[in-house]
Structure 1
Amino acid sequence: MTTIILLIALSISLCTDIKNRKILNIVTLPAMLLGLAAHTFTAGLEGFLFSFYGILTGFALLVIPYALKGMAAGDVKLLMAIGALKGSAFVIGSFLYIAIIGGIIALIILMVKKDLLATLKRMIFSAKIRTLSGLSTHELHHAFPYGVAIVLGTISFYGVGPIW
């Protein structure tokens, strides 16, 4: 049952993130609650903790990128929903795929826009400026709907399994 809920939440989130650059609370919050309820119903307190720790793990993995404005709250809540439905180990495994796929997507975007070298130079220059003065005047990234990487990474982990 949790797999079906996960696939529905991922499908809807993929569509809304591509179309509107939003991952909706009406998808992620019920998915979290259904994950908590399903695991609590089937395994009692142990099931509740399994799901709750999954939520916390999803939050912990993306809270820093969110705080640094590297992604939106919907991305964080989607990873939390994945954790609620599948637990901490699954969300960590998915996160490894998500990071790899997100990096590949970013590289492709930069290569297509012919901005890879310029972006690398800006990153190095900005790191030097931040080190010297604490200031940065350059845009360091081309934003893309990160929900795409979250969905593809989660499905990859589900289908392929651990890479370790």
Structure 2
Amino acid sequence: MISNFVLITALLISLITDIKKRKILNIVTIPAILFGFIYYTTYQGLEGFLFSGKGFLLGLSLLLIPYLLGGMGAGDVKLMAAIGALMGTSFVLYSFVYIALIGGLISVVLIMKKNGIKNSLRLYFFQIIFLRGNFGTILINKDKSSSISFPYGVAIVAGTLCTFVWGSFL
């Protein structure tokens, strides 16, 4: 299917640019979104437009709150919207679950790499035991030098490819 080819092409370009420049380019995501709308509308009419539109809106909304909170870039949000516009709601939802799991795993590995496994586990259990309420958030250091970030496009691409390979997990 041509929409699969367009999506895989957009994912691979986005992966490369996100790793190299920490950016997912509009020149990749916007045409992919438009292609999804035009392709499905052309071949399925109003039903195709709604298929693509619902996927677009779901993909957009899944990462909108993390973006608004400053946790990720707009390119990540637009890439998820492109996945939705090209593949529909169920595909983007399954992809999102894989993406969240892979992103969480990458985060845990990076935290343990930065802080060491022993210190990471000690801090984790300390927070669980002693800092359960709001008081704990006051004590945790929130400066930018201690933060860890990675190009989330890696998790988006990996999670979407997992959905291609394994499909739904139910």
Question: TM-score under structure 1 normalisation?
Answer: 0.89
Change (3 A) 1:76 1:112: same
**Is 1:160 aligned to residue 133 of structure 2?**
no
Instruction: Name the CA shift for 1:136/1:110 in 2 (closer, same or farther; >3 Å).
Output: closer
Aligned to 1:65: 66
Task: Measure how far apart 1:143 and its partner are.
Answer: 0.7
State the AA in 1 paired with 2:76: D
1:20-99 equivalences under 5 Å are: 20-99=21-100
Paired letter, 2:40: H
Match of 2:11 in 1: 10
| Alpha-carbon distance between aligned partners in 1 of 2:122 and 2:148, rounded to the nearest angstrom | 12
Provide the secondary structure at the position in 2 that maps to 1:109: helix
Structure 2: 5+ residue stretches without partners: none
State the identity as a percent.
Answer: 51
Q: Does 1:144 align with 2:145?
A: no
Q: CA shift at 1:108, angstroms? A: 1.0
Gaps of 5+ in 1: none
CA distance in 1, matches of 2:26, 2:152: 16
- How far did residue 142 of structure 1 move? 0.9
The alignment covers a number of residue pairs equal to: 162
- Kindly name which structure, 1 or 2, has the bigger radius of gyration based on alpha carbons: 2
- CA–CA separation in structure 2 for the residues paired with 1:56 and 1:68: 19
CA contact 1:36–1:48 (8 Å) conserved in 2 = yes
Q: CA deviation at 1:137?
A: 5.3
Query: Which has the higher mean CA deviation after the structures are superposed, 114-123 or 84-93?
Result: 114-123
Q: Single out whichever of 27-36 and 139-148 deviates more from structure 2.
A: 139-148
